[in-house]
Amino acid sequence: EPEVTQTPSHQVTQMGQEVILRCVPISNHLYFYWYRQILGQKVEFLVSFYNNEISEKSEIFDDQFSVERPDGSNFTLKIRSTKLEDSAMYFCASSTGTRGYEQYFGPGTRLTVT
């Protein structure tokens, strides 16, 4: 069964450093998403992406964040200058349709900012 994959599974970085989280969505999916889950809290939407541009973003997704689909398979989330409060699990998701339709999630990348 096809699945969303994410790398790395765990990333430790120092405050102020840039990180790139990588995702390979399911191959026939056209819509891509990033969510995050701070330890013990709800899963929160960050951004959706379609046709090489951002479709929607939340208030969390400020200028420190960016997304990119650098090739036909990868989808990345970049945090330019990490803060302690960016520590969370970051989940990539993909779907064949828009408007929330059947979003399938990857296993997540645990980001720890020290």
Binding site for another protein (CB under 8 A): 4, 31, 33, 35, 38-45, 48, 55-56, 58, 91, 98-108
Smallest gap from residue 23 Cβ to another protein (A)? 11
Considering the complex, state which of residue 17 and residue 89 has its C-beta at the smaller distance from another protein. 89
Residues 6+ apart with CB under 8 A from 33: 45, 46, 47, 48, 49, 92, 93, 94, 95, 103
CA gap 5, 7 in Å, rounded: 7
Smallest gap from residue 14 Cβ to another protein (A)? 23
Smallest gap from residue 18 Cβ to another protein (A)? 24
